[in-house]
Amino acid sequence: KYDPTSFCDPTAAKIQHINIDWTVDFEKKIVYGTVELSFNVLQDGVSSITLDSKDLTIKKVSYGETVLIHNLGDKHKVFGSPLEITLSAPFNKGDDLVIAIEYETSSNASALQWLDAQQTAGKKHPYMFSQCQAIHARSLLPCQDSPSVKATYTSKVTVEAPLVALMSAIQCWEKTGKSDKGEMVKTYKFDQKVPTPSYLIAIVVGLLESRDIGPRSKVWSEKEFIERAKDEFAETEKMLAAGEELVGPYVWGQYDLLVLPPSFPYGGMENPCLTFVTPTLLAGDRSLANVIAHEIAHSWTGNLVTNHTWEDFWLNEGHTVFLERKIMSKLQGEKTRHFQAQMGLSSLRYSIDTFGEDSPYTKLVIKLEDVDPDDSFSSVPYEKGHTLLFFLEELLGGPSVFEPFLLSYINKFKYQSVSTAQWKDHLYEFFVDKKSVLDTVDWNDWFNSPGMPKNIPKYDQTLSKECTALADKWAKASPEDFSKFKAKELDHFNSWQKMEFLGQLLLKDPLTKEKISAMEKLYGFSDSGNSEIKFRWLRLGLRAKATSMIKPALDMVVEQGRLKFTRPLYRDLGTWEESRNQAIECFMKHKPCMHSTTAGLIKKDLKI
């Protein structure tokens, strides 16, 4: 198959443009309407088209005035159903083919989360948002749901007034009118002129407000979050400018941010023109804004140059982490880049320990035959990919030598999708005078061996050595030593150093309950407004079998749905006999309010 996670064959005909006309129905929790798919026919004698779909009700398929025969094939448990369309006559290479499909989604569409008014901050109006990565776009619209297919799109979206609709595109206009039932509605028109893979089609509908945070940026959220968000993300333009300095012009026009309700499963999602972010970033001190740098970096690595299939996911995420840390280096110095790279290794170690050292999901390039990409999701493509790029940068002569390659990579493959083999070929083309150096790299080991990478760069330890010293001191301390620790030891630590201190303790043997109690009295981590610090502290407490940590851990998994926090906490709660039943009870109670991706993965984590 062209893409192991898709039913389509884009070598015969590939979608070039999508025109969407949707109505959002909160009562039925469905989206309905029509999509027109414009194809570039690439072969002679094309007599049928197969699209990806999942739980869609197809009402009519047509070519102009001609109604076309269509059939939904057998449903696969992960990939949905192939939508097989028989054309009225064979089409040949270069022919124009536009297929219109009238349909509606299921109320259980995996791409969409519907929130009742009570689940929102304002408590007065419902809310809906999408998350199409990796292969959920097919539950929102029939399409060629592979990252190898990139298309422009236009859309018209009708919602009940006074709600606001936004998409991963530039808004053209909005109009107020009446529905067929006489109710007040608002219709929004959007245009995405840059070819975009299906997983980056995104929609949100809610009672949203915006504030300007830069010359090409607004932040959107419910009004209850808007002022905090405006301050938290005030450095967005500086990050955009730093990205442009490294890898060329930002081609998407607008760069807006949307702060979603707490159930959003990710830290951020790089939807073009409208990055979705979790409210867990609202720390009050801009300390977690590196996530914004990450999503901004995706504007080039991921969105402009895209992995060919999800087996090459490291091309999206490894490059984006690398570019994110380059951006942060320009704003905060090179030592910060090294420090965050060092922290990333702890995250990588946890993922590998969770999957198992020999798991195929810990390889850089993975196989997804009959595998849900969500099941393979971890920090491996992010941090192992970043480690390879940092290793290559040092091997080839440092940032001044390697950064021009990054720019060249973007310029060569922009608006396209790329495989690992193509990336490697371009690396050799660019560094043609360093072929002998590149030949010393064990490429098979980097791409195809599970576990931690064998060649890890020696990162600068300036910012991490104090974290290491304090973590070692606590790990070795006896109860008689507790009085030697002072609260002021952390006074000069920034938020990232506190995170690293706790992260290093997580890699050691579990602490005692007495140590947890002594640390809490000194440092007051339980009161931290920084979600990353609080998360690590709760994990340390659960590993120490401190019963006082069970309730705050259960509170955290309910208050937010970010997978990075929720899955490890549920795993820790579920493996401790004292807390397992409470964890299962909590999960079953709150499952209806959780994002479908989150609920499905936690069910597997808890083994229920």
Q: Is 409 annotated as a binding residue?
A: no
417 and 470 in a single domain? The answer is no
CA angle 496, 268, 506 (to 5 degrees): 40
Q: What is the pLDDT of residues 51-88, one digit of tens each?
A: 999 999 999 999 999 999 999 999 999 999 999 999 99
4 is a domain residue: no
CATH number of the domain to which 425 belongs: 1.10.390.10
Q: What is the mean pLDDT of residues 407-427?
A: 98
- Residue 294, annotated as binding a ligand: yes
* Mean model confidence pLDDT for the chain: 96
By the 8 A CB rule, do 364 and 380 touch? Answer: yes
DSSP string computed for 221-251: E-HHHHHHHHHHTTTHHHHHHHHHHHH----
Tell me whether residue 270 is annotated as binding.
yes
Residue at which a domain ends, from 437, 463, 489: 463
Do 471 and 358 lie in one domain? The reply is: no
**Which residues fall within 8 angstroms of residue 483, CB to CB, at 6 or more apart?**
none
Distance CA 355, CA 443 (A): 23
Angle at 192 between CA 188 and CA 197, to 5 degrees: 120
Task: Give domain status of residue 1, yes or no.
Answer: no
Tell me, yes or no, whether 564 and 426 share the same domain. Answer: no
Active site residue 382: yes
Are the CB atoms for 517 and 549 separated by under 8 Å? no
Establish if 7 belongs to a structural domain: no
pLDDT, tens digit (0-9, with 9 covering 90-100), for 337-395: 999 999 999 999 999 999 999 999 999 999 999 999 999 999 999 999 999 999 999 99
5 part of a folded domain: no
As beta bridge partners, residue 115 has 127
What region does 114 belong to: left with phi over 0, alpha with psi -120 to 50, or beta?
beta
Reduced DSSP (H G I as helix, E B as strand, rest coil) percent helix, strand, coil of the chain, to 5: 45, 25, 30
For residues 454 and 469, state if they share a domain: no
Roughly what angle, to the nearest 10 degrees, separates helices 550-559 and 563-575? 150
H/E run at residue 269:
strand 268-269
Pair (162, 293) in one structural domain: no
- Are residues 327 and 277 part of one domain? no
6 within a domain of the structure (yes/no)? no
Tens of pLDDT along 506-542? 999 999 999 999 999 999 999 999 999 999 999 999 9
Domain contains 82: yes
CB 302 within 8 A of CB 275: no
* Within-domain flag for 180: yes
Mark which of 270, 299, 328 sits at the end of a domain: 299
Q: Give the residue carrying structure tokens 């600068």.
A: 460
What's the CATH code of the domain at 541?
1.25.40.320
Is 489 inside any structural domain? yes
Residues 40-79 as b/e (b if ≥16 CB within 10 A, e otherwise) read bbeeeebebbbbbbbbbebeebbbeeeebebeeeeeeebb
Supply 345's token pair.
Answer: 């290794």
Catalytic residue status for 459? no
Note whether 23 and 102 are same-domain residues.
yes
**Residues 402 and 430: beta-carbon distance below 8 Å:** no
Q: List alpha helices for 62-188, DSSP H.
A: none
298, 270 contact by CB (below 8 A): yes
pTM value is: 0.94
CATH number for the domain that contains residue 82: 2.60.40.1730
Determine how β-strand 184-197 pairs with β-strand 170-178. Answer: antiparallel
CA distances from 344 to 187, 232, 318, 348, 500 (A): 44, 23, 11, 6, 10
181 pLDDT exceeds 90? no
Domain end, chosen from 447, 463, 479, is at 463
User: Catalytic pick from 104, 222, 295, 311?
Assistant: 295
Residues 6+ apart with CB under 8 A from 341: 325, 386, 387, 390, 457, 459
Same domain, 524 and 437: no
Do 93 and 177 lie in one domain? The reply is yes
How does residue 1 score in pLDDT terms, banded at 50, 70 and 90? confident
pLDDT tens, residue by residue, 286-307: 999 899 999 999 999 999 999 9
Strand partners, 53: 81
Say what the pLDDT of residue 118 is.
87
- Whether 197 and 221 map to the same domain: the answer is no
Same domain, 111 and 183: yes
Range of the domain at 32: 13-201
User: Looking at residue 227, which CATH number applies to its domain?
Assistant: 3.30.2010.30
Asked whether residue 472 falls in the same domain as residue 348, the answer is no
Report the DSSP beta bridge partners of residue 85: 49, 70
Mean of pLDDT values over 4-13 = 97
Say how many CA atoms lie within 13 Å of 346 toward its Cβ.
17
Lowest mean pLDDT among 7-16, 354-363, 388-397, 592-601: 592-601
Q: Catalytic pick from 127, 361, 382, 459? A: 382
Q: Are strands 217-221 and 256-259 parallel, antiparallel or unpaired?
A: parallel
Nearest to 403 by CA among 241, 243, 239: 243
The answer to whether 224 is annotated as binding is no
Percent share of the chain, pLDDT over 70: 100
> Does 562 carry a binding-site annotation?
yes
- Asked whether the predicted pLDDT for residue 483 surpasses 90, the reply is yes
Confidence check: pLDDT of 9 > 90: yes
Task: Specify the number of domains making up the chain.
Answer: 4
Q: In this predicted structure, what is the pLDDT of residue 289?
A: 86
* 265 assigned to a ligand binding site: yes
Cβ atoms < 10 Å from Cβ of 443: 12
